[in-house]
Amino acid sequence: MLDIDGSMGEGGGQVLRTALTLSLCLGRAFHLANIRAARRRPGLQRQHLVAVRAAAAISGAEVHGDALDSPELTFVPGAVRPGDYRFDIGSAGSTSLVLQTVLLPLLGAPGPSGLRVQGGTHNPMAPTFEFLRDAYLPLIRRMGGEVAIELTRPGFYPVGGGELVATIAPSGRLRALDLQERGPVGALSAGIWLSHLPVHIFEREAEVLRRGLGLAPEAVTLHAQVAAGPGNAIYAVVPGAEVTEVFSAIGRKGRPAEQVAGEVVAAVDDYLASGVPVGPHLCDQLLLPMALAGGGTFRAAAVTSHAATNARVIEAFGVARITFESDGAGASCRVES
């Protein structure tokens, strides 16, 4: 039984999710204390609880402490079982974070799996659907993972009601990844989600994106699909020869449309100016698959506290050693088994 302090580093839900993934992949039990101790409302919230129960469902795990607001959890995994699974968060909690908790274990299962995860698809502080589709999963496929996702309906805070569908084929052990250069950048594009909100919001955001990123009018797409509740999300896609990056911002009540779009423009500008292949959020996302693949290296624009915390959890399980070194134009990361 591995003991983990959930207050380490950033002290958020990433400690829990990474521990669940590694527990399933390695077959190692753990006890997690001080869950989300650094958050305004500590303990397991609905999104985290669904991640726990999803991990338990695919492995027949023995679990203690899986209740709302629980500050600790004991998780004893069984063998990962392929199958068709449906998980409903019951709120606008992130579907992508629940999906990522069980994705890597199911890639190593002995048969194909299908997942339906219902909740929020475009959340602040979580990967959006477009990030998973265009940035994260292409790299997982390059490492040998066979997975595809589809957005059947969007879901926004506070109502949720969205749904992601994933198809996962057994892939065995992932291959190491080396991302040192971005390569030439292709034509940028952007999309704006709008549900139950006036079209002038799209027009104002699109104008900021066109001016700030030099986009032609047709390069900004309006997604006007009606969700269960009101919502607004913006994303920009930066295709490179070696990696595609996606940057997003989520609109909320009281926040001007121009400010939401400006956040995306600033993130893209910073990434392009850095010259490196991996943005700060993708840096965090790559550590776990690379650790399970047995190694790899990449250069990133920045190492966030989220990424540093993720590295500490991975090292606590003894699966890999992760080092970050500043190279003057960002940071170099090396993952070694």
Active-site annotation, residues? 306
**Amino acid at the residue 83:** G
Q: What are phi and psi of 336, to 5 degrees?
A: -130, 130
Helical packing angle, 305-316 and 280-293, nearest 10°: 10
Q: Which two tokens stand for residue 291?
A: 């650790």
Q: Give me the DSSP letters along 58-96.
A: TTT-EEE--STT-S-EEEE-------EEEEE-SSS-BHH
Count of C-beta atoms within a 10 Å radius of residue 94 = 30
Helix spans in 127-245 (H): 129-131, 137-142, 200-213
Residues in the chain: 337
Q: Determine contact, residues 324/332, Cβ cutoff 8 Å.
A: yes
**Alpha carbons 291 and 188: distance in angstroms, whole number:** 31
Provide CB contacts within 8 A for 242, sequence distance 6+.
179, 181, 182, 183, 277
**Amino acid at the residue 107:** L
Peptide bond into 158 cis (omega under 30): yes
Beta strands in the chain (DSSP E): 2-5, 30-33, 62-64, 73-76, 84-88, 113-119, 146-153, 162-169, 177-179, 189-195, 220-223, 231-239, 244-250, 295-300, 321-326, 331-336
Q: Which two tokens stand for residue 299?
A: 């250069």
